[in-house]
Amino acid sequence: MSFAMTEPPPAVSPRVAFPAALVLCLAVAAFGSWVAAPEIGGWYAGLRKPVFTPPDRALLVAWPLLHVMTALAAGRIAVLPRGAPLRREALSLLALQLAFAAVWPFIFFGRHNPQAGLLTVVFLLAALAATSAAFRRLDRLAGLLMLPSLAAIAFACVLNGTIVAMN
């Protein structure tokens, strides 16, 4: 008698998980760009900014790329079996992270409020760090895919804080 060791089926089919994660993450990126783009040449251009501020258009290109990497990581977590320890928590942290990622451009650019934007981006960084750690515990590659976003949001915290100090 032989017992074949098989892995439990994925909670979500990869054919559903990856496109759904991509649509969700790119929707957040598109919303952020939609809010920020009209303000780049107007209100944002009038702010005093540090010398390490990236070119304006770089921000509108970088965020969607980072969101694609987040989507790939999220898809890897979503296909894990439902009973995988921390899977639900990791995806809940992702939802929190994406909520802060959607709110930050609205507050900073849409409401012209760098002070509240700073508080929001710090919460985004905390949520992203927690998501990254949870993803890493479940899937090494998913955790690694989150690192560029973690670095970018840490930089955004410094940039946002410096803008607050200079204005």
Q: Could you report the per-residue pLDDT of 88-138, keeping only the tens digit for each?
A: 999 999 999 999 999 999 999 999 999 999 999 999 999 999 999 999 999
pLDDT at 83: 87
CATH number of 14-166: 1.20.1260
How far apart (Å, rounded) are the C-alpha atoms in residues 5 and 26? 37
Percent of the chain with pLDDT over 90: 83
| pLDDT bracket for residue 16 (50, 70, 90) | very high
Say if residue 102 is exposed, middle or buried (CB neighbours under 10 Å; 0-12, 13-18, 19+).
middle
More confident residue, 40 or 165: 165
Instruction: Please tell me what DSSP assigns to residue 44.
Output: G
Tokens standing for residue 162? 């410096």
Average pLDDT over residues 146-162: 98
Domain assignments of the chain as residue spans, ordered by start: 14-166
pTM for this entry: 0.91
